[in-house]
Amino acid sequence: SQQGEEDPQALSIQEGENATMNCSYKTSINNLQWYRQNSGRGLVHLILIRSNEREKHSGRLRVTLDTSKKSSSLLITASRAADTASYFCARRNQGGKLIFGQGTELSVKP
């Protein structure tokens, strides 16, 4: 499989808590992307971080990237029940295709 590793595979938290998901990859990257997938809206692009960036914010999302460790993390602050979904990291290869991780299934309980 070309997929990277994500952990945890599943995460259950209470509304208002923060959720952290991690992603590791094997080859060098130009950028890393995070996607969310739920049954209502399909697979949606959340945020992209370039290889020369260490941290990026978008609303309640914070992404970090450590190219020396080939890893990235996605932090969702002040989680809401509507954040319940699967989250995937993905890198784009030179041909343009996205290579996804296995995903983290997040459950936010009200």
Distance between CA atoms of residues 29 and 70, nearest Å = 9
Strand partners, 37: 43, 86
Among 56, 62, 70, 92, the residue binding other proteins under the rule CB under 8 A is 92
Among 45, 57, 80, 109, the residue binding other proteins under the rule CB under 8 A is 45
Q: Does 103 bind other proteins (CB under 8 A)?
A: yes
* 70 φ/ψ sector (left φ>0, alpha ψ -120 to 50, else beta): left
Q: Does 96 bind other proteins (CB under 8 A)?
A: yes
Minimum distance of other proteins from residue 48's CB (angstroms)? 8
- Closest among 1, 47, 39 to 21, alpha carbons compared: 47
- Tracing tokens 């295709």 back to the chain, one arrives at 97
Q: Does 97 bind other proteins (CB under 8 A)?
A: yes
**Where along the sequence are the contacts to other proteins (CB under 8 A)?**
1-3, 42-45, 48, 88, 90, 92, 95-103
